Structure formats: C-alpha cells, structure tokens
C-alpha cells in the first residue's frame, strides 16, 4: 500500500462538505471531492449514492445547500452552468445536452456562438458561421473524430458514439481546467466505448484532468488514476487504482466492505507522485 | 477572441503502437445503400422546403390547366398576395413560437385587439396616427409578454396559456370596441396605408403585401444569421440541453413571445388596410390558418426544425388552393376539405422524415 506524505500539489478542483436536500431526501450528506491536475478521477457508487448530485453541484447545474467548491484554491459559488463554464469546468452530460436537429458546428458552439467582428457582431449579434465551421473542423480533426465535409451534418443523423464524440469534443475544446463526464459509455457498444476511453486518455495527456462517472468497472480500471467511492451521499473512500481490485471496489460501493484503515482520500495519484 | 483551443497543453507524442488515431478517425458519410424512398426521406430531411415548394408549383400548374390563363394573370396573382398577407404575417409570429416547441392560439385575438386600440385612439381620442400605431405595437408586445410570462415563469403549457389569453384578449377587444366598427372615413391615412396600391406590370400591388414579403426575408435572415435565431432553434430542439449549454432559455422564450406579439400588431395594421375599417369581428379563421400555414410549410410542431420561408410557401399554398378552387367554380367546402388533407399530409411527412434520425 502506497502511503504518500502530505500532498505537495494543489488540487485543481476541491469540494468540501457539500450538502443537498430535497425535502426529506438527502442527496448529498457532506460530500468531499479532490481532483489533482493531470489525473483521471473515477467516481463510482450505487444508484442513489449521490454521484449525479455531486457532479451537478460541480458543474453548476444545482446549487448545494451547504459546503464549498474551490477551483485552484479559490472558493467559487456556481449559480448556473454558465458560472462553472467560465471557471473552466466543462461537463459532458449523460444525455449529452446536444440539439439533435442542429449541425455539428452549431452544437459545438451552442450557447457561445462566435459573432462577426465589429458592429454586425455586437450590435446585430450576427454569427460568424464561417469561422465556427473552420474551428469545428479543426477541433474534431485534432481529436481524430471527423472528416471536414461532415461539419454540416445534423447531430441526430450520427451514431451514438459519434454523438458522444461531438459532446466530448465540445468539452475538450472549451474545458480549460476540468472536464467532467457523466456515464459517457453507458449507451455505447464495445467498440464505441473504446473510442471514448481513448478520448479520455487523450484529454488527460493534453494536461486536462477528467472526472469520470461510470458504472462500468472495467472502463474505470482501464482509464482512472484514482477511484472515488460515493456512498449514501458522501465520499467513503478514494483509493489508488493500483491498490484495489474490481471486486473490492464493488464491495466498497455496496457497503459490503469498509475502506482500508489509514487510507488517505487526499493522496496524490500514484502515477503523478512517482515523478 | 481566443476562447477556443483544443490543445490546452502540448500533446505528448503517442506511443508508436497506439492505434488511437486510426481507430478513432471515422468517416461519417459512409452510409449503407438506401432505397429510393429512403433517399427521398433523407433529401426531405436535409432540405425541408422541398416538399412545400413542390406542392406549390404543382398546385399552380394544375390550376393553370383547370382555370386557364385567368389564374396566372398579374391581377389574380396580386389578389392572391393580398388574400394571404394577413395569414402570412401572423404565420411569421406563429412560426417563431412553434420553433420553440410552443403554440400560440391567441395570435388572431392579439391582432384584432391592436386594431381596435389604434383605431379608437386615432379616430376617437384624436391622437396622431403615428402615436396610435406605436401604442398598438406596444399593446401587441404587452400581450406577447403576458403569454411569455405564463409559459416561462408560471410554467403553463403554451397551448393552455394561449387558450386562456385567447378568451381574455377577445373579451378585451369587444369591451374596448363596444362591438362597434370604425369606418374608413374617420380613420387616418396612415392606418389605411397598407391597403394602398402601386402598380407593377399594370397590376395593383398593395404596400401590405410588400411589407409581408420583406418581413419574411428579414425574419429568415435573423433566424439563420443571429445568435437569437440559433438559440430559438436550440431551445425548441432540446430545452434542457440548451440550458445546460449556457443558453438563457427563459429569456429566449420570453423574447420570442414578445416579438410574436409585435408581429401580430403589425398584422393588425395590415388588416385595417385590407378590410378598410376596424372591426372587432374581422380576422376570423386567421388563428388556425396561421398554424396551418406553418405546418404545411414543413415546420415541426415538436419544435426546433423548420423555416419561416416554409410558412410563406404554406400561406401561398393556402391562398392558391382557395383562389384556384374558387375560380374553377368548386364548392367552397372543398377548399376547407383540401386544407384539412394538406395539414394531415404535412404532419405525416414531418413524422416520417424525422425518422431519418434512427
């Protein structure tokens, strides 16, 4: 078991003691989360463990009743998804949040369309379709996702994996600090899941940390550095991938097993600490 | 303006055995071979104006054959334009609403209510015509604002909200007018201006018809070229997704209802010109006709797809059928019948083409 000394790296994203109640239901009961630069942090947990609520709080889609969120050590109050996005946090939602009838370029720039320079842009709010198409082709090309002539294709005519690719590309293009992915492989087949996992690794290699919410243990173990186990609204453990087996992870998740004594949920990811 | 960057840091060189690029790179245009019907379906999905354009051309050809040169006479064409201008203008407002996955049953009531406002203010209160007109436009905006507020703030489904305001505006209209018609001789020229004509090819063309055509072009441009237009489509397509993408969906919806109200008030102005008086009972049938024009024009009632130019085609189709069947001496009830068939066919086609998204 690797026991790291006190971490020397500052977490890029930190959540402390988040609480969210819906009437009698407590979705988050003092949840913590720590994400270090350059890592892939998997968040696992049973249904109702508060994974979605935790992620929504981090992406600004819900406002926690208590607790604080820090980005680069600075406390942030997210009142809407816009706030989180301007802090550099991008989210790929499970249902993708795409406009299916719009084309790929329109979806990539949804909500932050590029305007024409000059008074046509800020006065008439005219769009710069040409630049958006060009940028889309470049972004998708960088991720190895598309050939250029398809930028004008409606998203609904794409396969599930390709749609996921558009959503991931959007996050990768704008997410300067953190990218959160909620069940990105849940609706995909084996081959397409593999592509998405490759994309996650690619984003990590570009230096952007990823939070991956997933039910799929093989996927989690393939790509994650550390595994955050969420149970009954809080983090009950966060372990190095190398320190745990898939079976133990599932036992932790379901409460069949308690976390190892003396484990440090704030420990640096082993892969990065070794350097 | 350097907000877009797919490369936050230098990408480390991939290990030579990593097949990522090859595996991920996939062409999207590789589709299995499709049947003729499948190809028609795909074309109609990609070019939604194809259907209504074909119907309009076909209708024109059929009526020219049935009725003879009378049908394509400039005088008759001008008449058709005059007959469809009200439905067209209100159809623009209806298109905007339907694109957001809403529906507005109060459009005709707003239109007529604003004619009563401007007519009363100009003819009886003695206000300058321009002021009366501006107040009428503001009234349209206020009516739209009420609809928008009900839909966004109070989360009343658009159908129910506008069904309610339909009754409210109709009642206000009758109260304000005292159920009395205001005759042309007491109305100022400005209010009657849309009915004035100038000549093209010897045929009289009303300023109202021109105003309608210009409005269609302007709104088509706005929908295609501005952020507001893009957001209207996004909200209608996937409201929750649009919200999560950072679009202020409430603001977009509210603005659409307000603009629709203003457009209805402009339609009211055209109505005064067309009828030559202000009557609280004019504009009958415009409500459903506007929805019919939108639907025949290929705009989906489920929101997010369609085009205001389709509505122009839809309005023209309604006008051509009604005019052609009349000239051909067919019973007027067959016009109603045909319109019904067209609506059902249009919605059926919409459902069918949407299945392209398998």
Chain B hits for A135, Cβ within 8 Å? 4
Question: Any chain A CB within 8 A of the CB of B29?
Answer: yes
Q: Which of A101, A108, A116, A202 to mutate to test the interface with B (most CBs of B within 10 A)?
A: A101
pLDDT at B229: 96
Question: Any chain B CB within 8 A of the CB of A9?
Answer: no
- Shortest CA distance to B321 belongs to which of B341, B303, B347? B341
Residue B40 neighbours by CB under 8 Å, 6+ apart: none
**Would you call A271 exposed, middle or buried from its count of C-beta atoms within 10 A (0-12, 13-18, 19+)?**
middle
- Å between B174 CA and nearest CA of chain A: 39
For tokens 């507001």, name the residue. B228
Q: How far is CA B180 from the centre of its chain?
A: 30
Q: What is the ipTM of this complex?
A: 0.84
For tokens 């593999």, name the residue. A194
What are the residue ranges in chain B where pLDDT is below 70?
A: 1-33, 357-358
Stretch among A191-195, A210-214, B196-200, B323-327 having the lowest mean pLDDT: A191-195
Confidence class for position A188, pLDDT limits 50, 70, 90:
confident
Chain B hits for A12, Cβ within 8 Å? none
Question: Any chain B CB within 8 A of the CB of A65?
Answer: no
- Å between B224 CA and nearest CA of chain A: 9
Partner-chain residue, chosen from A102, A156, A207, that has the shortest CB–CB distance to B8: A207
How far is the CA of B127 from the CAs of A108, B193, B270, in angstroms? 51, 17, 20
For the stretch A78-123, pLDDT in tens is 998 889 998 999 999 988 899 999 999 999 999 889 998 888 888 8
- Å between B25 CA and nearest CA of chain A: 5
Cβ atoms of residues B216 and B310 within 8 Å = no
Chain A hits for B298, Cβ within 8 Å? none
Pairwise pLDDT comparison (B321 vs A274), residue with the higher score: B321
For the stretch B301-325, pLDDT in tens is 999 999 999 999 999 999 999 999 9
pLDDT at A147: 57
Average pLDDT, chain A: 87
Confidence class for position A158, pLDDT limits 50, 70, 90:
confident
Question: Any chain B CB within 8 A of the CB of A143?
Answer: yes
**How large is the average pLDDT for residues A120-135?**
88
- As given in the structure block, the two tokens for residue B5 are 């960057």
For tokens 């490369």, name the residue. B7
How far is the CA of A262 from the CAs of A42, A238, B19, B127, B312, in angstroms? 21, 12, 40, 84, 72
Count of CA atoms in the C-beta half-sphere (13 A) of A159: 16
- As given in the structure block, the two tokens for residue A173 are 């293009």
- Give the phi and the psi of residue A260 in degrees, each rounded to 5: -60, 140
Chain B hits for A122, Cβ within 8 Å? none
Cβ atoms of residues A170 and A90 within 8 Å = yes
Confidence class for position A149, pLDDT limits 50, 70, 90:
low
- As given in the structure block, the two tokens for residue B72 are 């394509």
Chain A hits for B243, Cβ within 8 Å? 81
In whole angstroms, what is the distance from residue B64 CA to residue B328 CA? 10
Residues 206-235 of B with CB under 8 A from A: 225-228, 230-231, 233-234
- Shortest CA distance to B204 belongs to which of B74, B71, B73? B74
Give the orientation angle of helix B50-67 with respect to helix B36-46, to 10 degrees. 100
* Number of residues that this document lists for chain B: 358
In terms of average pLDDT, the best of A29-33, A155-159, A254-258, B17-21 is A29-33
pLDDT at A174: 87
Residue A20 has pLDDT above 80, yes or no: yes
């Amino acid at each position: 078991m690797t026991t790291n000394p006190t971490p020397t790296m500052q977490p890029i994203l930190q959540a402390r003691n988040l609480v969210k109640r819906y009437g009698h239901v407590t979705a988050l009961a003092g949840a913590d989360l720590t994400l270090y630069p350059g890592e892939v942090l998997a968040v696992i947990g049973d249904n109702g463990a508060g994974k979605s609520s935790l992620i929504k709080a981090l992406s600004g889609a819900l406002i926690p009743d208590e607790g604080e969120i820090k980005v680069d050590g600075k406390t942030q109050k997210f009142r809407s998804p816009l706030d989180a996005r301007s802090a550099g946090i991008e989210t790929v939602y499970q249902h993708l949040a795409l406009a299916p009838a719009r084309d790929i370029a329109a979806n990539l720039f949804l909500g932050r369309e590029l305007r024409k320079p000059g008074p046509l842009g800020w006065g008439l709010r005219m769009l710069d379709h040409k630049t958006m198409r060009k940028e889309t082709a470049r972004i998708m090309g960088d991720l190895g996702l598309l050939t250029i002539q398809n930028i004008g294709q409606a998203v609904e005519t794409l396969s599930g994996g390709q749609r996921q690719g558009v959503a991931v590309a959007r996050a990768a293009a704008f997410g300067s600090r953190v990218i959160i992915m909620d069940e990105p492989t849940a609706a995909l087949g084996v081959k397409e899941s593999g592509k998405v996992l490759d994309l996650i690794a690619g984003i990590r290699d570009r230096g952007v940390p990823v939070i991956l919410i997933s039910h799929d243990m093989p996927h989690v173990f393939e790509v994650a550095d550390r595994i955050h186990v969420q149970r009954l609204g809080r983090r009950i453990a966060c372990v190095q991938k190398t320190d745990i087996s898939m079976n133990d992870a599932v036992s932790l998740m379901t409460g069949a097993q308690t976390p190892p004594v003396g484990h440090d949920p704030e420990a640096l990811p082993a892969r990065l600490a070794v350097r | 303006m350097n907000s877009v960057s797919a490369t936050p840091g230098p990408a480390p060189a991939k290990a030579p055995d990593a097949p990522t690029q090859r595996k991920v790179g996939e062409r999207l245009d590789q589709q299995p071979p499709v049947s003729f019907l499948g190809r028609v379906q795909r074309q109609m999905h990609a070019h939604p104006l194809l259907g209504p354009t074909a119907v309009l051309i076909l209708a024109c050809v059929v009526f020219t054959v049935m009725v003879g040169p009378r049908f394509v006479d400039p005088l008759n064409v001008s008449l058709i334009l005059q007959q469809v201008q009200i439905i067209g203008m209100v159809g623009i407002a209806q298109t905007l609403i339907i694109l957001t996955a809403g529906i507005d049953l109060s459009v005709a009531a707003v239109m007529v209510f604003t004619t009563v406002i401007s007519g009363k203010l100009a003819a009886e209160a003695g206000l300058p015509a321009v002021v009366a007109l501006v107040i009428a436009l503001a009234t349209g905006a206020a009516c739209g604002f009420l609809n928008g507020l009900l839909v966004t703030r109070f989360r009343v489904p658009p159908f129910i909200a506008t069904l309610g305001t339909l009754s409210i505006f109709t009642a206000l209209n009758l109260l304000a007018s005292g159920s009395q018609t205001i005759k042309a001789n007491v109305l100022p020229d400005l209010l009657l201006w849309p009915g004035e004509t100038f000549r093209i090819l010897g045929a009289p063309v009303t300023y109202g018809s021109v105003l309608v055509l210009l409005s269609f072009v302007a709104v088509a441009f706005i929908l295609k070229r501005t952020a507001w237009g893009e957001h209207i489509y996004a909200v209608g397509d996937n409201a929750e997704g649009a919200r999560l993408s950072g679009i202020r969906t409430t603001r977009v919806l509210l603005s659409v209802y307000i603009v629709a109200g203003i457009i209805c008030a402009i339609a009211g102005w055209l109505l005064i010109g067309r009828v030559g008086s202000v009557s609280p009972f004019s504009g009958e049938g415009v409500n459903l006709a506007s929805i019919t024009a939108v639907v025949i024009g290929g705009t989906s009632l489920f929101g997010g797809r369609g085009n205001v130019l389709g509505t122009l085609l839809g309005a023209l189709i309604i006008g051509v059928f009604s005019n052609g069947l009349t000239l051909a001496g067919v019973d007027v009830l067959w016009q109603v019948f045909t319109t019904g068939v067209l609506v059902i066919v249009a919605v059926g086609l919409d459902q069918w083409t949407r299945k392209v998204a398998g």
